[in-house]
Structure 1
Amino acid sequence: MDLEIHSDFTKVNLDEMKDIYVSVGWTKHSNEMIKQVFEASNVFAFVTLNGRVVGFGRAMSDGVFNAAIYDVLVHPEFQKQGIAKRIMEYLLAKLSKVSCVHLISTTGNEDFYKKLGLKKTKTGMARYLNPILASEYLE
């Protein structure tokens, strides 16, 4: 498998990214939304196989004190092959000098992130406008 990992958003296909979102059940992401959230982010990891996007992740950071990692996704055809781990390692390396890196795990993936050195927070707070997400993630 000839996987490449890079951070060039201009080299990725939005339709392929949307397909990955849909493949993991995140069906509300339009190409325009994907473009907007990635353009608002400043740290990226894209994994491609023969030029096709098979996984990605993104982060927003001030470069010094804080960062937040979002949307670490791998198409189900390519899961369980270490791709998500490579994405996280790539993002964490890019954020290695940032004091605090936050991430909200999707339910059931907490152990994956623990293996990468992330820990639960004592004071994490959030607000969700979607009541389904609020009931899943908020105490």
Structure 2
Amino acid sequence: MTLQNFQETKSIITMEIIYKTDKKPNIEEIIDVYISSGIRRPVNDKARIQKMYEHANLIVSAWHGDTLIGVARSLTDFCYCCYLSDLAVRKEFQHQGIGRRLIDLTKEKIGSQTALVLLSAPAAMDYYSKIGFEIVTNGYIIHRTQ
């Protein structure tokens, strides 16, 4: 599937999974995926999760029927840099290539001129290197205080 076809259809059906970029999931669905996936996010602070998604400008979601099963949330300028802030897949759907597909679709949307960067949880370090991410040593962070 080409980027043009993906942009035209906004949905891709693969193994009963539908991937979308034109639908922002509701906050309850997102929180359910976060809890199931094991990703550490402020799931008890619905207003904060809402704000995270209000300000994201690229959301790729995976659906099994009407159920949200995965989400990739990014902030990007679509021409130089994209920060993949969240990648979460429901526990029962993990190890089926859904996370990789969410990343691939994110890469298609941002284009080849745009670098894709992320911060990994320690437990996911092996995953990202297996799917083509390079570990960088020239990064810096100021951690949140809340």
The TM-score normalised by the length of structure 2 is 0.78
1:46 is displaced (CA, Å) by: 0.3
Aligned to 2:40: 26
Q: Deviations over 1:89-131 (max 9, x none)?
A: 1111112234322111111222222233211112110111359
Distance 1:126 1:9 in 2: 31
Q: Deviations over 1:46-94 (max 9, x none)?
A: 0000011011011111122211101100011111111111111111111
Distance 1:118 1:25 in 2: 19
Distance 1:71 1:27, change over 3 A: closer
1:32 is displaced (CA, Å) by: 2.4
- 1:109 alignment partner, SS class: helix
Instruction: Supply the RMSD in Å over aligned alpha carbons.
Output: 2.0
Aligned to 1:53: 68
Q: Mark the runs of 5 or more structure 1 residues left unpaired by the alignment.
A: 132-139
The TM-score normalised by the length of structure 1 is 0.82
Distance 2:39 2:128 in 1: 20
Distance 1:34 1:46 in 2: 16
Give structure 1 regions of 4+ aligned residues with deviation exceeding 4 angstroms. Answer: none
Tell me the matched-pair count: 130
* % identical equivalent positions: 23
- 1:87 alignment partner, SS class: helix
CA contact (8 A) 1:45 1:87 kept: yes
Distance 1:75 1:53 in 2: 8
Aligned to 1:137: none
Residue from 80, 90, 96 that aligns with 2:105? 90
Distance 1:114 1:93 in 2: 19
